[in-house]
Amino acid sequence: MDQDYSKLTRQAIEARQASYAPYSNFKVGAALLAKDGTIFTGCNVENASYGLCICAERAAICKAVSEGQREFEAIAVSAVPLATPCGACRQFIVEFGKDITVISVNAENPDETRTWKSSELIPENFEL
């Protein structure tokens, strides 16, 4: 990583602990860094009706937007094993910028990370 996002990845790992995943047992945490330095966290929340589930990334972004933030620098996503954001989350992230740094971190081995720019994860994103 060009910049040290260790605090962000730690907060994503911590956010994962609040995950509500009784159906898949796939717990995910996210930490979103706003351009002003504020960090917003989120976790995945499952529902018996799978279509109503919300991913950690979208939970963090919705929390930030509801607090008035619109400009983001980076988002860290923690899971076991290391996982990338789903397609819906990729589109959701790129809505707020094509140069947002996306970091995936293995919650059980924080040294295992992968990093991309949001535009690399969804190069042909939907635009209206």
The full set of domain ranges for the chain reads 6-121
Predicted model pTM? 0.95
Please give the backbone phi and psi of residue 116, each rounded to the nearest 5 degrees, phi first: -140, 170
Q: Tens of pLDDT along the chain (128 residues)?
A: 457 899 999 999 999 999 999 999 999 999 999 999 999 999 999 999 999 999 999 999 999 999 999 999 999 999 999 999 999 999 999 999 999 999 999 999 999 999 999 999 999 999 99
Would you please indicate which residues are annotated as catalytic (active-site) residues? 57
Is-contact 77 92, C-beta < 8 A? Answer: no
Q: Which CATH number fits domain 6-121: 1.20.950.20, 3.40.140.10, 3.40.50.150, 3.40.50.11740?
A: 3.40.140.10
What residues pair up with 29 in beta bridges, in sequence order? Answer: 43, 78
Q: Is the peptide bond before 22 cis (omega within 30 degrees of 0)?
A: no
Rounded CA separation 112/122 (Å):
22
